Amino acid sequence: MGFLDKIKEYRRMLSQVERNIYGEKQDYLEIYERNLQLEKEIEARTNELNVANKRMLTLQHIWDMMNSSTPLENVLEKVVNSIHGELGYLHCAIIRKLHDENGDYMQIVTQSKDSAIARVNKIIGIPIEVRRLTYDPDSIYADTIKNRKIVQTKDLGGTLKYIMPDLPNEVAQAAVTNQPCKSLIIIPLCPMNKEFGWFCVFTSRDELADAETDFLSLFAQQIEMSITITDLFLAIKQQAVTDSLTGLYNRRYFEESLKREVTRAQRQNQPFSIIGIDLDFLKKINDEYGHAYGDLAIKTVADVLKNNARSIDLPARMGGEEFNVLLPGIDSKGAMAAAERIRKAIENQELDLIGHITASIGVATFLEHSDNIEELLELTDQAMYQSKRNGRNQVTLAKPICETSWQEIAVNTFVDILSKLPIPKDVADKLEEKLQYSENKTEISKETLFNVADILTSTYNPMHSQGVMKSKVLMATSLAKRFDLPKKDIDNLRIAMLLYDIGNLMLPYELLQKTTPLTEEEKQHIKEHPMIAAQEILKPISYIQDVIPIIEHHHENWDGTGYPQKLSHEDIPLTSQIILIVDAYFALIEHRPYRAKLTPQEALEVIKQDSGKKWNNALVQEFVTLTELDLA
């Protein structure tokens, strides 16, 4: 190969090397550029992931609050502050659509605390959160909630004028200029498809990306769920403490509030009063017009209590036709005035078909009548039933507990029973007349009480003899004194003796008079009468709660074979055992459909045979001694 040929070959090879180097350079440039692009994409994805993570954390915060008992206002406040702080929006607010007698309007429920809203409030004067905002049915807000769609608008001045049309144009314009906000995003809130309001987000971005729209939509759904859950929680809570018929607080809530009021009153040495109200003649209204009219009368009384209560007063339905009103900080003089206003307001109500209704009312004051809350409730009820037996439709102030006799308690209890149990009308009227005070007497006599108990017993036991109740009470009292029982226990025993068989009023008459042997089912039915008396008839009467256990256990045997709870020995109240032995003795010496009556001596022999079984030996010994002395 010649010299020139070699030079040509070298040039060719050099060109090839140059081409290879240039090609590799291009590859390196492409790789470099691709790396740069990839780094940008990674940065963008990282930013997106960070934003998504913040959004998820914000949603998690909301979910955590939704699953707690946090009040709705606090949940919504944390919502707007979370999305404002974590996601970088300029300002966030939740606006609610409301309605009153003047029509629909809007009001800020909560909003983020930031420089943007501080600037606007300074310009418009009165802060936007305390204003009544106008709801314009032609506004962007109305369109948004009507069509259930998210809307972004750059017309900030227009949206401001929609909700505050009286705002001067120059003020509105000043509020939306020279500030970083470019647009407003309005998200409708419609939990359970009900128009609640709007979630409003102010942003520095002109356009709203699809991903952001999706997130805000999801965010709004979480807010709606928060509202729904909170509403359900409040509804359940409200149902737990309110009476479904009247909307007043129920007995449970009243008693809980009363405990708190006692603590406050003791700490501040300040009185409070309780007004007890009993609707007159509810049983008569139900019987003559039907229970729907009875319910109407009850709701009418409830409405009167609502309309006559201060914001701090607590009216409650205690059950049936009975109501209480707690008056914090009010002494007996003020409570009597309040009670009289209530009485007149009830009397002035005129209902269709029924006509005017009335109520019997009692008043008692903490620290004045008693510093014991159970006693105070008893005194309130006693005063209320004194109003009832004195002619109804009046207010009575309670007496201190030390001035209340067992006769008064017994009378009040009879009045209560007669007004509620299915007793023949002629009998009930006759007994109520006996129980009313006469003009020249201040207290019902014991003889009258015995007579009332005899008449009442005769309604379910025609073979019951007049005068027997007096003998039973006197015998039981004498027996109790032999065991040195305190006066309070003896007084409770006297009342229990008058009432111990009251549960028979709720049993079928045919069952009580059956002459053939009872079936097991019928025997079980008979055994239920002490529990019926204690739980269904007497338990709602607060002032005889100490009497109820005596009646409840008066069929328990010493050896544990009695009923209803098969108690034995000292677990049985001595007063219950006294009732059992006295009742058994008088049953033995009275005629029964299934046997002839025994002589007193024969009855005592039967009692002795059950010594250590039905009764303890000491009780039998004292009873036999006492009875033989009476027979001598």
Per-residue b/e over 348-374, b at no fewer than 16 CB within 10 Å? Answer: ebeeeebeebbbbbbbbbbebbbeebe
Any idea what DSSP says for residue 611? B
- Are 340 and 421 found together in one domain? no
The pLDDT assigned to 442 comes to 45
What lies within 8 Å, CB to CB, of 194 at 6+ separation is none
The pLDDT assigned to 347 comes to 95
Examine residue 66 and state whether it is found in any structural domain, yes or no.
no
- Who wins on pLDDT, 449 or 570? 570
- Are 548 and 509 found together in one domain? yes
CATH number at residue 385: 3.30.70.270
- Are 358 and 484 found together in one domain? no
520-529 long-range CB contacts below 8 Å, 24 or more apart? 527/555, 527/563, 527/564, 528/503, 528/564, 529/501, 529/503, 529/504
- Who wins on pLDDT, 243 or 28? 243
- Who wins on pLDDT, 302 or 126? 302
- Are 315 and 211 found together in one domain? no
CB 223 within 8 A of CB 189: yes
The pLDDT assigned to 439 comes to 40
- Are 104 and 227 found together in one domain? yes
Examine residue 451 and state whether it is found in any structural domain, yes or no.
yes
- Are 592 and 572 found together in one domain? yes
Helix (H, G, I), strand (E, B) or coil at 52: helix
Examine residue 371 and state whether it is found in any structural domain, yes or no.
yes
CA 358 to chain centre: 26
Cα separation, 49 vs 315, whole angstroms: 56
φ, ψ dihedrals at 103, nearest 5°:
110, -165
Confidence of residue 394 (pLDDT cuts 50, 70, 90): very high
- Who wins on pLDDT, 476 or 510? 476
Examine residue 291 and state whether it is found in any structural domain, yes or no.
yes
Examine residue 55 and state whether it is found in any structural domain, yes or no.
no
- Are 514 and 617 found together in one domain? yes
Cα separation, 239 vs 399, whole angstroms: 36
CATH number at residue 453: 1.10.3210.10
Examine residue 65 and state whether it is found in any structural domain, yes or no.
no
Last residue of a domain, one of 379, 404, 429: 404
- Are 368 and 287 found together in one domain? yes
Convert 68-113 into a string of H (helix), E (strand) and C (coil): CCCCHHHHHHHHHHHHHHHHCCCEEEEEEEEEECCEEEEEEEEECC
Residue by residue, DSSP assigns 165-227 as TTS-HHHHHHHHSSSS--EEEEEEE-GGG---EEEEEEES-SS--HHHHHHHHHHHHHHHHHH
473 has pLDDT over 60: yes
The pLDDT assigned to 518 comes to 67
Confidence of residue 438 (pLDDT cuts 50, 70, 90): very low
pTM: 0.48
Among candidates 380, 306, 396, 386, which has minimal Cα distance to 346? 306
- Who wins on pLDDT, 36 or 482? 482
What are the pLDDT digits (tens) for 286-330? 989 999 999 999 999 999 999 999 889 999 999 889 999 999 999
- For residue 74, the one-letter residue type is N
What are the pLDDT digits (tens) for 211-264? 777 777 877 787 787 777 666 666 656 667 888 899 999 988 899 899 999 999
What lies within 8 Å, CB to CB, of 368 at 6+ separation is 271, 331, 332
Last residue of a domain, one of 204, 234, 264: 234
Which residues are registered as beta bridge partners of 361? 277, 395
88: left (phi over 0), alpha (psi -120 to 50) or beta: left
Q: Rounding to the nearest 10 degrees, give the CA dihedral for residues 231, 236, 237, 238.
A: 90
What are the pLDDT digits (tens) for 514-565? 666 667 776 665 666 556 655 666 776 666 788 888 888 888 999 999 888 8
125: left (phi over 0), alpha (psi -120 to 50) or beta: left
**Average pLDDT for the chain:** 81
Cα separation, 392 vs 358, whole angstroms: 8
Cα separation, 524 vs 106, whole angstroms: 65
- For residue 61, the one-letter residue type is H
Examine residue 57 and state whether it is found in any structural domain, yes or no.
no
Cα separation, 157 vs 95, whole angstroms: 17
Report percent pLDDT > 90 for the chain: 34
Cα separation, 395 vs 618, whole angstroms: 48
Mean pLDDT across 20-49? 63
The pLDDT assigned to 51 comes to 56
Examine residue 52 and state whether it is found in any structural domain, yes or no.
no
Could you give the angle at which helices 156-163 and 140-147 cross, rounded to 10 degrees?
90
Range of the structural domain that residue 15 is part of? 1-47
Last residue of a domain, one of 364, 383, 404: 404
- Are 37 and 142 found together in one domain? no
Pairing of strands 395-397, 359-365: parallel
Confidence of residue 122 (pLDDT cuts 50, 70, 90): very high
**Distance from the first to the final alpha carbon of the chain:** 169
Number of C-beta neighbours around residue 608 at 10 A: 14
Mean pLDDT across 97-105? 89
Among candidates 88, 118, 115, 120, which has minimal Cα distance to 205? 88
452 has pLDDT over 60: yes
Overall number of domains in the chain: 4
Structure tokens of 493? 């025993």
- Are 252 and 400 found together in one domain? yes
Weakest mean pLDDT among 127-136, 403-412, 580-589: 403-412
- Are 382 and 469 found together in one domain? no
- Are 411 and 398 found together in one domain? no
Cα separation, 574 vs 82, whole angstroms: 68
Cβ-based burial of 436 (10 A; exposed 0-12, middle 13-18, buried ≥19):
middle
Any idea what DSSP says for residue 544? G
Cα separation, 205 vs 268, whole angstroms: 58
Cα separation, 368 vs 355, whole angstroms: 38
